[in-house]
C-alpha cells in the first residue's frame, strides 16, 4: 500500500488504488492498471502510477519509466486478449486537453478500422512552411532543460 504522502485524499484514482479491485489487470510496486469503467471498446484499460502525480509535468524519470513499462505490458496483453486492428495510447493534461481525473494515467484503447473513436484531427490540417516550423522548433528548444 502507499504511504499518506503518496496518496491524495480527494483523488478517485488514489482511492481506487487502495481498494481490492476485481477489475485490476496489473500491478507492481510503482504502477497499477484497471479496466476503465467506460468501455467504448472492450479492453479499454487505464495505467497509473501508485504515487499521486497530477499530470505529465509532475512526473519524475523513474515514475514515467515505470508507467511506460507497465503500459507496454498492458498494451501487449490487450492486443492478445481482444485482437484489435490497432491500439491507441493517450494521455491528457489539464482542462484544455480534457483531463478528467487529476492523477496521471495512460489510456490503452483497442481500436478497429473505421470505429470513429479518437479522431486526432477533426478536419484537414495544413502543413506550415518550413520557416514557420523551424521557428517553432527554436522556440521549443529554448525551453528544454
Residue 109: beta bridge partners?
88
From 41, 44, 105, 107, active-site residue: 105
CB 97 within 8 A of CB 105: no
How far apart are the C-alpha atoms of 41 and 35, rounded to whole Å? 11
Active site residue 44: no
* 39 Cα distance to chain centroid: 15
Active site members: 105
Amino acid at each position: 500500500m502507499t504511504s499518506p504522502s503518496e496518496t491524495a485524499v480527494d483523488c478517485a484514482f488514489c482511492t481506487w488504488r487502495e481498494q481490492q479491485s476485481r477489475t485490476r489487470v496489473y500491478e507492481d510496486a510503482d504502477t497499477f492498471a484497471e479496466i476503465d469503467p467506460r468501455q467504448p471498446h472492450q479492453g479499454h484499460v487505464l495505467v497509473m502510477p501508485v504515487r499521486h502525480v497530477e499530470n505529465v509535468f509532475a512526473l519524475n524519470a523513474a515514475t514515467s519509466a515505470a508507467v511506460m513499462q507497465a503500459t507496454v505490458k498492458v498494451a501487449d496483453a490487450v492486443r492478445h486478449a481482444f485482437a484489435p486492428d490497432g491500439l491507441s495510447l493517450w494521455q491528457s493534461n489539464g482542462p484544455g486537453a480534457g483531463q478528467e481525473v487529476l492523477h496521471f494515467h495512460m489510456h490503452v484503447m483497442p481500436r478497429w478500422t473505421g470505429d470513429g473513436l479518437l479522431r486526432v484531427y477533426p478536419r484537414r490540417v495544413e502543413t506550415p512552411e518550413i520557416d514557420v516550423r523551424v521557428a517553432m522548433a527554436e522556440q521549443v528548444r529554448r525551453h528544454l532543460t
